[in-house]
Chain A
Amino acid sequence: DIQMTQSPSTLSASVGDRVTITCRASQTISSWLAWYQQKPGKAPKLLISKASTLESGVPSRFSGSGSGTEFTLTISSLQPDDFVTYYCQQYNSYPWTFGQGTKVEIK
């Protein structure tokens, strides 16, 4: 199975900050990487597919980059609604696997 490792596990930041979350795959997954946002008690919401393609309706302050084994999610200017948890997920091969999550907290 492909292991997905996210860092950091928790990130403390302020409104307006630029933040970056990293996701590393244990083997190459080309660009078959997605990023999800999850609010408490809700289903995950797809933000980015194919490493860098912003899904329809997702604010442009979110961006993704990377390929192979190293990926990043950047939020250019944190908004109050963004202080939740983010997951990466590889869909290059089964079983699909997720990172352990990054919780973005208010500093």
Chain B
Amino acid sequence: QVQLVQSGAEVKKPGASVKVSCKASGYTFTSYYMHWVRQAPGQGLEWMGKINPSGGTTSNAQKFQGRVTMTSDTSTTTVYMELSSLRSEDTAMYFCARDPSWQLRPLEHWGQGTLVTVSS
């Protein structure tokens, strides 16, 4: 069965970087884009960007340009999202979620989420 398993919670200081992983299993890794969506405490969902694990091309929301880096490792079927220059407003739950690359579909399978807390 499809599984997206994310790394554990992180606590970071303002100005630092965080790297969250999402290990995929149960499907052909390179056939699905992986997206990152975040949710601040008590707030709504915010799309951050996506990566095509086949080739590594990315597309990010303008808001995160220059601060977010998404990478993939086909040997371990893992994608990574690194967010730099952290500020308190980046405190949120970060989710990975996949969609098929060959058809237009929303996000059917999600990781369990990784809580990132930014605090001095």
Contact = CB atoms under 8 A, between A and B. Distances in A.
B84 interface: no
A55 B35 CA distance: 20
Interface residues of B, number: 22
Interface in B86-120: 95, 97, 99, 104-108, 110-113
Interface stretch (B24-32, B41-49, B66-74, B75-83): B41-49
Interface stretch (A11-19, A65-73, A75-83, A96-104): A96-104
A44 B110 contact: yes
A95 B62 contact: yes
Nearest to B106: A34
A46 B106 contact: yes
Contact of B61 (A38, A46, A95): A95
A62 interface: no
A98 B45 CA distance: 6
Contacts of A91: 99, 104-106
A44 B45 contact: yes
B46 A98 contact: yes
Contact count band on A? 20 to 34
Most buried by A among B59, B99, B107: B107
A43 B47 contact: no
Nearest to B4: A43
B59 A94 contact: yes
Contacts, number: 50
A36 to B, nearest CB: 8
User: Do most interface residues of chain A lie in helix, strand or loop, or is the interface mixed?
Assistant: loop
Contacts of B97: 43
A87 B106 contact: no
A107 to B, nearest CB: 22
Nearest to B60: A95
22 contacts: A1-B62, A32-B104, A38-B45, A43-B95, A43-B97, A43-B113, A44-B107, A87-B44, A89-B45, A89-B106, A91-B105, A91-B106, A94-B50, A94-B59, A95-B49, A95-B61, A96-B35, A96-B47, A98-B44, A98-B46, A98-B47, A101-B45
